[in-house]
Amino acid sequence: MARARTARRGGVAVIAALAAASFAVSGAAAAPAHRTTGAADLGPNVVVFDPSMPVAQIQAKANAIADAQVDDEMGTGRWSLLFEPGTYGSAEEPLQIRVGYYTEVAGLGASPSDVVVHGKIETYNRCLGDEANPNCIALNNFWRTLSNLTLEIDGAGQDGCRASANFWAVSQAVSVRRLDVRGGTNFSLMDYCTAGPQYASGGFIADSRFGTVLNGSQQQWLTRNSVIGAWTNGVWNQVFSGVEGAPDETAFPDPPYTTLDRTPVSREKPYLYVDAGGRYQVRVPTAVADSRGISWADGMTPGRSIPLSEFYVAHPGDSVATIDAQLARGKNLLLTPGIYDVDRSIRVNRADTVVLGMGHATLTAVNGATPLVVRDVPGVIVAGVTIDAGTVESPVLLQVGSTQGRHLALGHHKNAALDPITLSDVYFRVGGPHVGKVDTAMRIDADGVLIDHTWVWRADHGVEGFTAGVNGDTDRWNTNTGLTGVVVTGDDVTATGLFVEHFQRRNLVWEGNGGTVVLFQNELPYDPPTQADWTQPDGTLGYPGYTVGADVRTHRLYGGGVYVFNQNNPSIVTARGFSVPTRPGVQLHHVMTVNLGAGTIEHVVNDTGTTADTSTVGMPRFVVDYP
């Protein structure tokens, strides 16, 4: 799934589109006094909608933002569109809005039923070509969020094809959470109305309820702790965990379904809501084991609520010294939408601290800093945060725990299963909007950590100014540097939705015991210039996408794919997609390699599995179980 290169949309057009909308933003002055009280200043890029607003006004505001963001893949805009409790749209006038890059659309209810949108909330393919070859795809439709509301699908007024479904054509770094879909119309993860080729490569759904989901061209997808009426087709790697109505897996790989009856460890993402008194709260769900279905079936999601007054509400431009001082005083942290330049580590040292990002708030490393460090203490949650490498190499972008004395950290190992450090919708980027350099993007050196959806990406395209063609790819290899994507040394770590791509050595290294991964997706780097650049010191050809350490005694993977597209040098060979110790306690269930048009992977796991080369483009090489 080659990522097409795109140009950043001009700033003048963006400003003009937003100015034309003339919308109100959040804050004490802008918030409707009769509904919400005590609102903090959430900044100029948070738009709070009131059900008393005319539908046409809401639609114009939301779609003006979408028009500004739809092609601004590497831009700086970050947005939260929040809907206060109530109903928006009707059969006579449905509310139909679109969602572009770096945009969060969320209800402000305690439960999804508190906010009802009668209409559509959609993302379409981007057409990256010209009139002769439109090249309409969803492969680059990253960084957007839809959550915590009821969607009554109504395509009235749209043409026949568009009215046939609610289209959510997306790829990585996109989450759907706490969504209740009604209306008898399909929810489609593929935009089949726009000219082709219509490829998509997502994605993630959790804690949601659907009728029929059309998977379409989605190459891989994880649906966790949800309810579905029907799921149509699968391309390569479709994983269901704790999902009522999930398809059966016994015919794997045709269709390519992997189904776990229950999710081993889960915790739903914290969310902002308005309580009965009109005050902002953050709901922090409880961690649960062996879970199935939606968390809100019997009322409000179990957990605790934290008043917004107990958060430091940060804005771009705030110094790290200020943020750290507020964390040290016992505050939680709410990052309002925008870009935060981080020249020294933001340190989370207190148990049960919540760090919640709005609108894909982004921490960018400055002068080689590690933007975020989490101490090995119980219950810390980091959610909705994107972390970018800077132009000076950082040793790591997110550090959780420490390799020194991790088993001595306040008894966390003993209690981790009850109150794990949790990372939800935490994304990483090395290159893209600017040159990026890092040694390792994320290190997990604490026990019992829960990773619930992450995309760790060394960018295969961007606006950094590299020349086009082979030399440009070589420039990227030598300049946008990232050796390792993820390292896990902690024991009993669980990952649900682990997407890691394009790192220059090992994408994932797992050295802790008792690990569980539910859906792994990886693309090997596109851009090694020569085989020598992609050969291990011992002479092994290439580096696996998924490596389990030789000393690991127990490990489980359910549904994993490693893909190859060596476009810079199609002759490059990788010996294996997965490298694991061969012992009974290390088990891989439903894994595959896929050739996307260039390069070769000789084996799927160790020396097992057939070759994925250019004679098998798009045809996965499967191993049902290993060993």
DSSP letter assigned to residue 251: T
**Of 66, 233, 202, the residue nearest 139 (C-alpha):** 202
Half-sphere exposure of 359 (CA within 13 A, CB side): 26
The 3-state DSSP class for residue 211 equals strand
**Of 151, 220, 157, the residue nearest 187 (C-alpha):** 151
Element (H, E) at 264: strand 263-266
Cα angle, residue 458 at apex, residues 70 and 581 outer, rounded to 5°: 135
Q: Which tokens go with 255?
A: 């269709």
Query: 157 to each of 91, 118, 120, 138, 502, how far by Cα in Å?
Result: 11, 13, 11, 24, 42
Helices then strands, each counted (H, E), the chain? 5, 44
**Of 233, 230, 240, the residue nearest 218 (C-alpha):** 233
The 3-state DSSP class for residue 208 equals coil
Q: Find all residues with CB under 8 Å of 534, minimum gap 6, and list them.
A: 525, 528, 541, 542, 543, 566, 572, 574
Task: Work out whether strand 237-241 and strand 220-224 pair parallel, antiparallel, or are unpaired.
Answer: parallel
Phi (first) and psi of residue 460, to 5 degrees: -90, -5
The 3-state DSSP class for residue 11 equals helix
CB 533 within 8 A of CB 505: no
**Of 385, 316, 390, the residue nearest 348 (C-alpha):** 385
| Angstrom distance (rounded) from CA 464 to CA 460 | 11
Q: Where are the beta strands (DSSP E) in 524-584?
A: 546-548, 555-565, 573-579
- C-alpha 619, offset from chain centre: 26
Largest separation between any pair of C-alpha atoms in the chain: 70
Concerning whether 268 is annotated as a catalytic residue, the answer is: no
Task: Work out whether strand 220-224 and strand 372-374 pair parallel, antiparallel, or are unpaired.
Answer: unpaired
Q: Which tokens go with 222?
A: 């994880």
Phi (first) and psi of residue 109, to 5 degrees: -90, 160
Q: Find all residues with CB under 8 Å of 110, minimum gap 6, and list them.
A: 273, 275, 283, 300
**Of 607, 606, 601, the residue nearest 620 (C-alpha):** 601
Q: Of 84, 249, 523, 602, which one is the catalytic site residue?
A: 523
CB 152 within 8 A of CB 197: no
CB 483 within 8 A of CB 206: no
| Angstrom distance (rounded) from CA 594 to CA 577 | 9
Active-site residue list? 523
